[in-house]
Amino acid sequence: MKKTLKYALLLAGMTSLPAMAHVGYSGRNFGTFDGTSATSTLSGQGVTGNYGWIDGTDADYGDAHKTLPYRFTLLNPTDVTLTFQQATSTVTDHSGNTSTSQLGLIPGFSLYQGLAHLAPLNADTDTSAISKANRPANTEGAFRALDDIKIGNDPDTANGIPAALSFLKYIGHAYDGAASGSVSGFDGVADGKVSHTFSNLAAGDYSVFVGGSDYLAQEISNPNILTKYGVSGTLVAGVVPEPETYAMLLAGLGLMGAVLRRRRPLKNS
């Protein structure tokens, strides 16, 4: 039985923890890219549970806080390849405590155009009144792995700033391993790694939500239901030529040089 009452009560007792209470990109910004070839890798991250991404594929949505949000910005239309894989990570929580996240993550991710709210605005959270008002009753959270996301923040009463929604437009997804029910997008190889290329993404800001894709891992009988799994992410922007392309390019440049040398006029003696 998914998310039993006992587990629900356990989660309710943990909602006061700031690290689990909002959507933030701290330490997970791949950077800004202008269309030229570039690579960015982010490590030292850990996600709680091995089911956070796949849970967002069902009718009652998922808990955004069981995923890790990443971000990046494109200045020009660009091809982007995203890769996420299991890793051992030393993670520092909101209190400065460090722990080591373990191997074993079966990663899945979804790409969205847009960003959640950034500081100094209050961060978005599943439990805010505006988030709850903009999704069906009895849903587990605001996270949708296969569709647009609407998630909002709490009002900043001290500064008179009302609550607002963030709109994240779904672009695509991929996940590790074999098919999970009717969910497409699996890579067919259960190796703790998943990669996907998105062609000609428009200029703008993007969010990537990453989590586990083992649907059965959310059962209360799973002794690792609250285990923190390490993850490493890599973004490759632009088209990176294959070695054969480099060889052809160098050969072409050599040929052009030879032609130019042959056409060079002879100096008068």
Would the pLDDT of 165 be above 70?
Answer: yes
Q: What is the pLDDT of residue 91?
A: 67
Among residues 82, 104, 61, 111, the alpha carbon closest in space to that of 214 is found at 104
Domain-embedded: residue 248: no
| β-strand pairing of 149-153 with 204-212 | unpaired
Percent of the chain scored above 70 by pLDDT? 78
Domain-embedded: residue 58: yes
Omega of the bond leading into 107 within 30 degrees of 0 (cis): no
* pLDDT class of 2 with cuts at 50, 70, 90: low
Residue 234, burial from CB neighbour count under 10 angstroms (0-12, 13-18, 19+): middle
Would the pLDDT of 234 be above 60?
Answer: yes
C-alpha distances (whole Å) from 154 to each of 20, 127, 142, 192, 228 are 15, 9, 14, 36, 27
Looking up residue 55, the CATH number of its domain turns out to be: 2.60.120.380
Domain-embedded: residue 260: no
Based on its alpha-carbon atoms, the radius of gyration of the chain, rounded to whole angstroms, reads 23
Would the pLDDT of 266 be above 80?
Answer: no
The answer to whether 210 touches 72, Cβ cutoff 8 Å, is no
Q: What is the pLDDT of residue 255?
A: 54
What is the pLDDT averaged over residues 5-31? 60
Would the pLDDT of 1 be above 60?
Answer: no
What is the pLDDT averaged over residues 131-138? 96
Domain-embedded: residue 249: no
| 100 bridge partner residues | 90
Domain-embedded: residue 252: no
Would the pLDDT of 12 be above 50?
Answer: no
What is the pLDDT averaged over residues 69-73? 98
Q: What is the pLDDT of residue 143?
A: 98
Chain-wide mean pLDDT for the chain?
Answer: 85
Domain-embedded: residue 209: yes
In this structure, of 150-159, 181-190, 206-215, the range with the lowest mean pLDDT score is: 181-190
The answer to whether 201 touches 238, Cβ cutoff 8 Å, is no
Domain assignment of residue 56, given as a range: 20-240
Question: In angstroms, how far is CA 108 from the centroid of its own chain?
Answer: 9
Residue keyed to tokens 């998630």: 151
Would the pLDDT of 52 be above 50?
Answer: yes
Q: What is the pLDDT of residue 118?
A: 97
Q: What is the pLDDT of residue 17?
A: 37
Question: In angstroms, how far is CA 257 from the centroid of its own chain?
Answer: 46
Structurally, the chain folds into a number of domains equal to 1
Among residues 30, 74, 29, 67, the alpha carbon closest in space to that of 50 is found at 67
